[in-house]
Structure 1
């Protein structure tokens, strides 16, 4: 801390900050008067522009701590419970890698759509697994019905082993998901599966030309997250349709699919072994907003899976305005769900052009069986982006909602109601603000940890295509991975 006396600025420890918030103001003498001043503030010879003028109270000058901390290259966090301020150094982007000349997957479409990223501690630091989603698709409205167009309905769901080297993303291996031995997919007529919706209730599906899609795939998956269990050398993936968790062997063979209670009977023709052991309420997720991020603790004991956005509980209106997202915890030793927790998204009203319903979780990366990195983002890109952040979420003191009445009403609860009911959501600490690092893309979707001080991220480029006014257009968005170096160890 430092004191600013009249027109002299005294720096202590290289940091000149004195915070006066509502708590400090209440403690001041009632007779003290704040006078706005326009002092010039310089950091390393560069003038700092503040969004609010400094004020002088009783001979001392007070500056907004957040603006000054930004200028000093520091994050600032105010903990209301302990009435403390903490500062930490900004991280930095150290390298970028691009998927150059991606291979064709049919028609004008090329490989891409990386929706998740995973590093295995046993692999070299530049080798990862990346997950593709359900294949090229786009929003389309036909005769007043909004749905998704699938220009490659026979696209086979896959994931990749990749290497980041000399600025390139190199695909070392492409692994397609496949049904257990002897099982045949309804669409591919092979063991491989598609990314098509399972049933008509999932989404309104169209062909590329807008005609109704006549074929659905009860085994189809819209994969969004990938994690690894070191205990049995298998992957667990999250997907959006049911939503569900999918247990997969290294070679891509599906072991089992876990869905909400009541969903198994809807998938009567599925060839995948299905277990309806997840809470039934998760079937009330908003369409195309199912399970997004998934991660397993380093010891292989706990799996965390996040719903992408607040669910339609009790209705879509409540979900659209809610800040509460859900994260489930599974005990991998018993494969039973043992926890359900609230993760509170940022308040969209504090940011221009951001709707609350568009603040989503895109990825998880577990640091322990209680602490998880969470990728929280908005739908904006480039200079307009407000929230592209990686938080450390600690569930140690979070309230377990599993089986409680609150689980039936979480999305409708205001922040005041959460406090009144004494519901603690996960404790969030900002680790990386990608928007401040100049992140370009909308879909910050893949995130993984290498060692103790490096995070690697990748964007989902939606296969470089979009639908505008019912027509397919190329977006020129590449698939790009970035390495981010941190100033302190993750723990």
Structure 2
């Protein structure tokens, strides 16, 4: 962590008493008392603890970095910025890792990939899940970073998988398609594509060579999250493009697409064949490109659907959104298909970490524990040893301010954290459940999250189909990056 100046930063990243509370030391630091570094060794369980900073002596008392000491004792250390508190909790453990060893072939060197969301249905075996891939293989070509689709015929799909014995087996592949009698504008068949929808709001699609522009598909989807509605036995999917929420049957038939107000007319004019419902707040059309809906989940009682925007939106512009920490989560009543809530989730502060930009701290998935409590997958863009934020938080919205229809909703990203406090806006209360980076998780894109039971979480990564850009000769590069499912055991039960 970086050196911190404020009282909160100083407490978390610099010093804490051996008793794990440094109120006296903090006061001393604020009063300008001299802190003398010392070379004391700290031992735990017969082994010396590696400290991020040397211990110091202030006014006769010795202080050590809380994070190092807590982790040496097998604890997760969490700084609760909003409430000014530090929490220590028993560290969870990785119980199993399962790898997709034999993905199917798409085209050329490209293999099937994923996964961008994860779902475990009550009643299914503990090793069985539903997941999905996004819009298919895509890359960025040349200095202009043209968006290429090396497999333009790719059909977005849902997978039913079994994770056991160290491997992932695909039990069923469900490709999305329009209802009988309708044909996609691009594919000429009921099957849809993963191509962008319309010129202007979306990226321009190109072929693998980056030289031939492809057609837009008003029914195309970039799928990122999956949930299940027990009342009518349907899946609900999160789409990044518009952004939208998509309801589909178990066989992949698209029943409807729920879009921001003002988007229905635009898509219909472009030739969309999907049933469209413009019931989402119009401000969601201001999502930053490739940063639409990422997570979706339905409460266990089946009454409410929650959808998370991946990162702050361009409100009023992209620059403001990329600097913001304000992430939005919508709440939709499934019986009426009406949005009934919009809440603030505050992302971690990039200033407290090395090599992390605020715009790269995002939400990747949700899993509802109740109608007011969600698990939230929050991550940065780093991988391996450089990864710092790969975290599962418990987010409690029971006391959070409902921003739906308020003036604050129209300018949320432009408000600082101090302004949010001044306005009396209460965000979701966050509690760290699993710091996955501290467990050695190697991947950038921790994108799928599911709950098996009160002490078992499952996560998966999106390997981007192995696409790794283009070389100097303009050839698409494909690397061997596996798709893996991790089983995490918690020491404390979810509540």
Alpha-carbon offset, residue 465 of structure 1:
1.5
In structure 2, the partner of 1:479 is 483
Partner deviation per Cα, 1:318-356 (whole Å, 9 max, x = no partner):
011111111111111211111111111111122111111
Alpha-carbon deviations, 1:125-151, whole Å to 9, x = none?
00000111111111124xx64431011
In structure 1, runs of 5+ residues without a counterpart are 1-14
2:393 to 366, 391, 394: 391
Larger mean Cα displacement after TM superposition, 259-268 or 82-91: 82-91
Partner of 1:8: none
Once the two structures are TM-superposed, the CA of residue 210 in structure 1 deviates from its matched residue by 1.1
Taking the TM superposition and a 5 Å limit, the aligned residue runs for 1:219-298 are 219-268=219-268, 269-298=271-300
Match of 2:161 in 1: 162
Cα distance between partner residues in 1 of 2:249 and 2:196: 23
Q: Which residue of 1 aligns with 2:117?
A: 116
Change (3 A) 1:100 1:29: closer
> RMSD across aligned C-alpha pairs, in angstroms?
2.1
CA offset at residue 54 of structure 1? 3.0
Q: 1:275–1:463: structure 2 CA closer, same or farther, 3 Å change rule?
A: same
C-alpha offsets along residues 284-326 of structure 1, whole Å, 9 cap, x if unaligned?
1111111111111111111110111111110011011111111
Structure 2 match to 1:133: 134
Distance across 1 between alignment mates of 2:446 and 2:107: 25
Q: How far apart are 1:50 and its partner, in Å?
A: 2.3
Contact 1:17 1:65 (C-alpha < 8 Å) held by counterparts: no
- Whole-Å separation in 1 of the counterparts to 2:396 and 2:369: 10
**What residue number does 2:152 align with?**
153
Q: Deviations over 1:29-53 (max 9, x none)?
A: 9798755433221000111132333
Equivalent residues, number: 474
Matched residue, 2:420: 418
> Structure 1 residues 80, 328: CA separation in 2 closer, same or farther (over 3 Å shift)?
closer
- The 1-side partners of 2:32 and 2:307 are apart by 54
Equivalent residues of 2:394, 2:431 under 8 A apart: yes
Whole-angstrom CA distance in 1 between matches of 2:30 and 2:139: 61
- Shift in Å, 1:114: 1.1
TM (normalized to structure 2)? Answer: 0.91
- Equivalent residue, structure 1, for 2:379: 377
**For 1:436, what is the secondary structure of its paired residue?**
helix
In structure 1, the residue matched to 2:19 is 17
Deviation at 1:79, TM superposition (A): 4.8
CA distance in 2, matches of 1:77, 1:387: 12
TM, length-normalised to structure 1: 0.92
SS in 1 for 2:439: coil
* Contact 1:296 1:366 survives alignment (8 Å): yes
The worse-fitting range, judged by mean Cα deviation, of 58-67 and 126-135 is 58-67
Kept in 2, the 8 Å contact 1:18–1:62? The answer is no
Matched, 1:215 2:219: no
Deviation of 1:81 after TM superposition, in Å, equals 7.1
Distance 1:270 1:252 in 2: 17
- Once the two structures are superposed, the pairs formed by residues 47-86 of structure 1 within 5 Å of their partners are 47-57=48-58, 59-79=60-80, 85-86=86-87
Deviation string, structure 1 residues 435-456 (Cα, Å, up to 9, x no partner): 1111111111111010111111
Contact 2:25 2:58 in 1 (8 A): no
